[in-house]
Amino acid sequence: MSTIDPVVVVGAGVAGLSCALTLAEAGCPVRVLEAHPVPGGRVRSLMRDGRTVGELGPSWVWPRWQPCVAGWLSRLEVDTVAQHEHGDGLIERHRGLPPVRAVLPGQDGIRRVVGGPGALVDALMARLPSDSVTTGSPVTAIRTDGATLSVEIDGGERIAASAAIVACAPRIALQHIAFEPALPMALSKALQTAPTWMAAQAKAVAVYGTPFWRETGLSGRVASSVGPLVEIHDHCGPGGEPAALFGFVGVPAADRHAHGMRLHDAVLAQLGHCFGERALQPVALHIEDWSLDPRVCSAADRTGTPAHPQVLPPILREPSLDGRLRFCAAETAAVGPGLLEGAFAAGESVAKALLAARSIR
């Protein structure tokens, strides 16, 4: 067993796992701590009868335009399929009136991961040492006195680390982890003002026996100005099986919490309005409200105005605590921030920067 203190990675999402794997393959001892009971972070699957029937987090990749994603797909031997967009889309403009069929513009290069993004998490986990990832272990503090660095877990356990990489969203890191000594004011401000991509979003997945909408020449895509789903997309697996639709909920988080089960009924009614009576009888209908997860959505994310992520200040990509602390999340990436591309880019770049710094020393 190695006597060298491991690099501790806080967070077993795509960024944290890709960072850990890059370190491990370079011979660096690593330990990953995840607050949730399972790895994946914001990658979360809807399971039925032991198989994935839908994705509750990220849905798409664009390998043609995302070199990090393309490289990791190849490295992990995970396949993709084109997002189904064949057929007419539907536009909902007015309550009570039938949706209008129309050809909706597609997105160049948009693809789905076979088995969902959860397949990426599984592949990363399979390549890491079997004892390197510990779930259900929220980190509460990272402390250094200059000579030693320790990472503290809820319950009191302390892990001696050679370096710590915080691979959760910036606001979540600042909200849940105490840093000693305190982080520089400029870094704390950058962490606090970094929005967590899609943190306050809710996503609905409806599973069916067959993709019946395709039989009538529909793509499964809906653009709606009346909701509650503002977008709906075909979410089937290869060959249309398992069959599913998913949609982004346009109802603000506070209203979702107040309405409770009425949102479920409203989603079902909208699916029926768009796709007919067969849509009213899904095998399963699940609404994942990310704003209810305190390890994903901060108070600032819950009340802030949603916006597409932008490249954040360089200070979030620079080392702290004498080079022994680094931040690594999809939001901190210099490319594709907030997306799976950003998660892979952040994980790989932070690991390589740490390895390079060690080789210089």
Going by CATH, does the domain composed of 1-43+117-196+299-361 fall within 3.50.50.60?
A: yes
CA 93 to CA 234: how far, in whole Å? Answer: 20
Residue of 162, 143, 161 whose CA lies nearest to 361: 162
φ, ψ for residue 46 (rounded to 5)?
Answer: -90, 120
Q: What is the pLDDT tens value at each position of the chain, 361 positions in all?
A: 346 899 999 999 999 999 999 999 999 999 999 999 999 999 999 998 888 999 999 999 999 999 999 999 999 999 999 999 999 999 999 988 999 999 999 899 999 999 999 999 999 999 999 999 999 999 999 999 878 999 999 988 999 999 999 999 999 999 999 999 999 999 999 999 999 999 999 999 999 999 999 999 999 999 999 989 999 999 999 999 999 999 999 998 888 887 767 999 999 999 999 999 999 999 999 999 999 999 999 999 988 877 778 999 999 999 999 889 999 999 999 999 999 999 999 999 999 999 999 775 4
The CATH number of the domain covering residues in 50-64+82-114+200-295: 3.90.660.10
Q: Extract the tokens encoding 134.
A: 């510990």
The residue assigned the tokens 């664009």 is 62
pLDDT of residue 1: 39
pLDDT of residue 3: 65
pLDDT of residue 304: 82
pLDDT in tens, 246-300: 999 999 888 888 776 799 999 999 999 999 999 999 999 999 999 999 999 999 9
CA 288 to CA 297: how far, in whole Å? Answer: 13
pTM (two decimals) = 0.95
- Rounded to whole angstroms, what are the CA distances from 115 to 25, 45, 46, 238, 288? 25, 9, 11, 9, 19
CA 87 to CA 205: how far, in whole Å? Answer: 20
pLDDT in tens, 96-139: 899 999 999 989 999 999 999 999 999 999 999 999 999 999 99
pLDDT of residue 256: 87
**Strand-pair partners of 10:** 33, 166
**Strand-pair partners of 269:** none
pLDDT of residue 69: 98
The residue assigned the tokens 């401000």 is 189
Omega prior to 337 cis, within 30 of 0 = no
**Strand-pair partners of 134:** 33
Q: What are the residue boundaries of the structural domains of the chain, listed by start? A: 1-43+117-196+299-361, 50-64+82-114+200-295
Q: Are both 1-43+117-196+299-361 and 50-64+82-114+200-295 of the same fold?
A: no
DSSP state at residue 61: B
